[in-house]
Amino acid sequence: MSQLIKYQLLQLKNSFIIFALILFGLLIFGGITLYIFADSNGASSVNGTEFSMVIFIFVIFVCCFGENFRFFIQNGKSRKEIFTSVIFTEIITSFGMTIFILIFNFISNVVFNRSIIAYSSLIEQMYGENLFGFMKYIVQFIFIFATLLVSGSFGFLIATWFNRAGKIGRILIAAGVPTFLFVLFPTLLGIFPSLRLLIGNFLLYSLGLKSNNPLIASLTFVITFIIFSIISFFIVQRTEAK
């Protein structure tokens, strides 16, 4: 098992380094540009790093599964072992990236003087600043960790589903999932106000936006991570290596 986790982390290492370099590059470039051109009354803002990490972790778990799965089967690993190693890799990766984000946010706050440029993290954008006082960093850690975990597990689920599917199934997943998420679903919300209200209320409560509590969102994400992982487990168990 440890060999599988080590292998996956080694494969992710280069991608993460490149991504981190890009982020720091943007930080430096953005910082210089905004200092030169920004309005001095703090009308400029910088944000989106956590969200980019969420997408990054989703993408890496979508892309890596197929190749890794086949290589592990080649080396005589059971599907249960492969699944468990991916879960542990997700947890380790999410933990590491959470630490990175917290450090990055800290540096960004130092770089971007708030009187000129407002740097806001995802949790501050959603729940406001100065939340939980001295517990702020612990709450931020839990929130970011849970967000990355659910994103990685969603990527893993899509990947397992895609690998298991036949030709038509793969087309449905590759085209259908984005179409549903970005076209059909918003359209349905527009057509049916009651559905919009229902979904809206569900999101307000499950993401802790109603009570302004990011820990509720963290719990929702962890439960969703567990659900996605269980579904992925059953899919992986019957995936053939072809």
Partner 1 sequence: MSSIVIENISKNFGSVKALNHINLELTEHKIYGLLGRNGAGKTTLLNLINNRLFPSEGQILFDGINIENNSSIQNQFYFIGEKSLYPDSMKVKALYKYTKMFHPDFDETYAYKLSEMFGVPLKKKLSSLSTGYKSIVKNIVALSVNVPFVFFDEPILGLDANHRELFYKVLIEKYIDQPATYVLSTHLIEEVSNIIEEVIIIKNGEVIKNESKEALLDNGYSISGPTGLVESYCSGKELIGFDTLGGLRSAYIVGKPDENIPQGLELSGMDLQKLFIQLTNI
On the 0-12 / 13-18 / 19+ scale of CB atoms within 10 A, 2 is: exposed
Cβ proximity to partner 1: between 6 and 13 the closer is 6
Counting contacts by CB under 8 A, is residue 136 touching partner 1? no
- With CB under 8 A as the contact rule, the residue among 71, 141, 180, 233 that binds partner 1 is 71
What's the min distance (Å) between Cβ of 35 and partner 1?
Answer: 40
Q: 28-31: long-range contacts (C-beta < 8 A, 24 or more apart)?
A: 31/111, 31/112, 31/117
- With CB under 8 A as the contact rule, the residue among 5, 7, 116, 172 that binds partner 1 is 7
Counting contacts by CB under 8 A, is residue 238 touching partner 1? yes
Counting contacts by CB under 8 A, is residue 39 touching partner 1? no
What's the min distance (Å) between Cβ of 81 and partner 1?
Answer: 5
Q: What is d(CA 34, CA 37) in angstroms, rounded to the nearest whole number? A: 5
Strand duo 44-46 + 117-119: pairing: parallel
Residue with tokens 């962890």: 222
What's the min distance (Å) between Cβ of 199 and partner 1?
Answer: 39
> Which CA distances in Å does 179 have to 131, 159, 171, 186, 189?
36, 17, 12, 10, 14
- With a CB cutoff of 8 Å and minimum separation 6, the contacts of 168 are none
- With CB under 8 A as the contact rule, the residue among 22, 33, 75, 179 that binds partner 1 is 75
Cβ proximity to partner 1: between 146 and 236 the closer is 236
What's the min distance (Å) between Cβ of 76 and partner 1?
Answer: 4
| Closest-CA residue to 156 (of 237, 96, 90, 240) | 90
Q: Which among 69-77, 88-96, 174-182, 214-222 is the span making contact with partner 1, rule CB under 8 A?
A: 69-77
Site for partner 1, rule CB under 8 A: 3, 6-7, 67, 70-71, 73-81, 237-238, 240-242
